Chains A and B, each alone.
Chain A
Amino acid sequence: MLDIQNLTVTVQGKRILKGVNMHVSSGETVALFGPNGSGKTSLLHTIMGFPGYTVETGTIQFKGEDITGMSIDKRAERGIGMAFQRPPAVRGVKLKDILRMCINRREDVDETAISRYVQKLNLDDFQDRDVNLGFSGGEIKRCELVQLLAQDPDFTMFDEPDSGVDLVSIHLVGTVINELLQRGNGPCKKIKSGLIISHAGHILEFVNADRAYVILNGRLHCSGNPRDILDNIKSKGYEGCITCLR
């Protein structure tokens, strides 16, 4: 699904990602751990194609196509989606407007799906509000997810979907992420893929990740079992975790 080779990225002249290699297979969900400022969000933004993240070397391939220089909306069109860690408020644009525009791009559902989605995320009363304007931390996270439901990407990136979410809502967040990534226990063929950033790993108690990466100072260090890696980070810190698993 996603294949990143030797990716080096600068932001305003500062090198943030240094030779990143990453692979996410079809149907696979991987977790990404790393300390504050290590480059997690930058990696997601680079995959999504935000200007300002200048690719110095390397390539990003998605579904076999080189998307390294592609615009954001084209990537979204190809099936990439993301839940932002800190999305901007967009004054004047209502949540309902965005959901409608996303749905209108799909053929499998019609606008009646909107009410289903907002109900699922307890966002009924937010449809007519300007997106993210004055939303609480937890509301923002749910609002990101409802947009992704409307968008229905094949590869979805979640930037700290669990931070700031209360103990009851996290269950809901987990359920919806599972739905987006086809992680239910049903027998259906899994083709959707995901990348989940989490610090404490709470969300992974609800969503089974297949693998985890650790990023440190712009470099991806290891990949392995998410639980083992998380336990290692908890006991030895990020640096210790890396030496251990190498």
Chain B
Amino acid sequence: MSTVAPHKKRKKAGRDPSGKKGDIDLSAYSGTAEKHGPIETLKQLPFDVKDKSLSVGIDAEERCRSGSFYQIDHSVLLSSAYAEGLEVMDINRAREKYKWLSHYWWHAVHADADQYTAQTDKAQHHGYFVRTQPGTKVDFPLQACLFIGKEGLAQNVHNIVIAEEGSELNIITGCAAAQAVHTGLHIGISEFYVKKNARITFTMIHNWSDQMVVRPRSAIIVKENGLFMSNFICMKPVKDLQMYPTAICAGENATVRFNTVILAKEGSTMDIGSRVFLRAENSRAEIISRALTRGGDIIARGHLIGEVPGVKAHLECRGLMLSDRGTIHAIPELEGRADNIDMSHEAAVGKIAEEEIHYLMARGLSSDEATAAIVRGFLDIEIKGLPPHLAKEVKKAVTMEEDLHLF
């Protein structure tokens, strides 16, 4: 198995790779939480928790879902799977049950990558284990929620997702904090293993709160003919979100796609990128991001590394400024380490062109309507191959904010 160490250039643990704002002081967050649950069904969740979960695609009624995982603070409340060949459980239980999991544990992500991985290695608070048996195709998405309900809490989860050979799996992960929670730290280690001929689509929606620090640390290994598709959406306030999920195309014809849609409001800092190592023949990658600022600071990264001949990859990074305040810094990187590789990128950052607004106004649209139409179009990335139930959640998450508060 190949391995990947995110941020491997920064060998030393304990440094914040986002650098810019200095290290986050981990000791500022509480490491203990009272126990919750377990519950029989998600319907037992308190009303406000249910409500917030819904905003990140987690349906307490479990309509069109193949299973659920629900964690609040440091407690797993529920894990269930309704599809043949699909396993969903607390990662701690899974590690007891399956000794072989040690081969996957801290394999794609390295425990010493940075202070967040190190911290999670030291004090881990559950997380989910999801696995599809070989040849299993699960139509409906599995939903997993990581929820913070305690003010000032540090939640360090470690997830492992395995799609065995020839299986197909859709996951929607919602990350949220309770309405009353302002500060907190969420660290999420996620290791994905896409075996031969398997496919995973992973859709993640965040709805934290204005003082939350969020550090997802994800890595993905995709084998022969495998497909990994990630959709990340964060349209809600967060203090400081930094992530750089890294995928390796480790087998022939492996395909990786990252779609990202983010909105940074005043006071939010988002340093978000995706990286793909194209390490096997005929592997393909596509990174598409849409970054919108209404006063927040965004760094939109993307990094494609072509390591063998015959790979193909594209990176598209667009940023739109809706305010005079705020910044978008696009950093697209292409790295060729072999000949005969086809990698390209497109990056554009700017405000909406006045000329375009005026054009639409000449058709009778008001200035606000014209702006809304352009922003809606900007956010409407066509996500190829997303199952309809997920497409619905993505659309909802992306447009909700816009409809309610943008103008």
Contact = CB atoms under 8 A, between A and B. Distances in A.
A101 B361 contact: no
A149 B167 CA distance: 51
B377 A88 contact: no
A51 interface: yes
B23 interface: no
A84 B359 contact: yes
Contact of B362 (A76, A92, A93, A105): A76
B364 A91 contact: no
Nearest to A104: B364
B358 A50 contact: yes
Interface in A57-114: 71-73, 76-77, 81-82, 84, 87-88, 90-94, 97-98, 101-102, 105
A147 interface: yes
B364 A92 contact: no
Contacts of A94: 377
Q: Is the interface of A mostly helix, strand, loop or mixed?
A: mixed
B131 to A, nearest CB: 39
A92 B358 contact: no
A152 B354 CA distance: 24
Interface string B373-384: 110111110000
B324 interface: no
A88 B370 CA distance: 14
B353 A97 contact: no
A147 B365 CA distance: 13
Contacts of A50: 358
A87 B359 contact: yes
A3 B369 CA distance: 30
A151 B363 contact: yes
A130 interface: yes
B361 A88 contact: no
Given A50-B358, A72-B358, A101-B369, A91 B377 contact: yes
A30 interface: no
Interface string A3-27: 0000000000000000000000000
Interface of A: 48, 50-51, 71-73, 76-77, 81-82, 84, 87-88, 90-94, 97-98, 101-102, 105, 130, 147, 151
Nearest to A97: B373
Contacts of B340: none
Given A92-B380, A93-B374, A94-B377, A101 B364 contact: yes
Interface residues of B, number: 22
B361 A130 contact: no
B373 A102 contact: no
A92 B369 contact: no
Contact of B373 (A101, A105, A147): A101
Given A93-B377, A101-B369, A130-B377, A88 B359 contact: yes
Contacts of B355: 88
B367 interface: yes
Contact of A92 (B354, B359, B374): B374
Contact of A90 (B360, B367, B379): B360
A168 B253 CA distance: 47
A9 B353 CA distance: 23
A151 B364 contact: yes
Nearest to B290: A92
Contacts of B379: 92
B365 A101 contact: yes
A84 B355 CA distance: 12
A87 B359 CA distance: 7
A93 B360 contact: yes
Contacts of B364: 73, 76-77, 101-102, 105, 151
Nearest to A73: B361
A151 B354 CA distance: 21
Contacts of A92: 374, 376-380
A201 B365 CA distance: 32
Name, among B363, B374, B379, the residue most crowded by chain A CB atoms within 10 Å (CB to CB): B363
Closest 3 A/B residue pairs (Cβ): A92-B377, A72-B361, A76-B364
Nearest to A92: B377
A82 B362 contact: yes
B356 interface: yes
B366 interface: yes
Contacts of B369: 101
Contacts of A48: 362
Nearest to B373: A93
A147 B362 CA distance: 10
A129 B263 CA distance: 25
A94 B361 CA distance: 15
B20 to A, nearest CB: 30
A83 to B, nearest CB: 10
30 contacts: A48-B362, A50-B358, A51-B358, A72-B362, A73-B366, A73-B367, A76-B361, A76-B363, A81-B363, A87-B359, A88-B356, A90-B359, A90-B374, A90-B377, A92-B376, A92-B377, A92-B379, A93-B360, A93-B374, A94-B377, A97-B373, A97-B377, A98-B360, A98-B363, A101-B363, A101-B364, A130-B377, A147-B363, A151-B363, A151-B364
A102 B363 contact: yes
A119 B2 CA distance: 55
A73 B380 contact: no
Given A51-B354, A76-B361, 19 more contacts: A72-B358, A73-B361, A73-B362, A73-B365, A76-B362, A77-B364, A81-B362, A82-B362, A84-B362, A87-B359, A88-B355, A88-B356, A90-B360, A91-B377, A92-B374, A97-B373, A98-B360, A102-B364, A151-B364
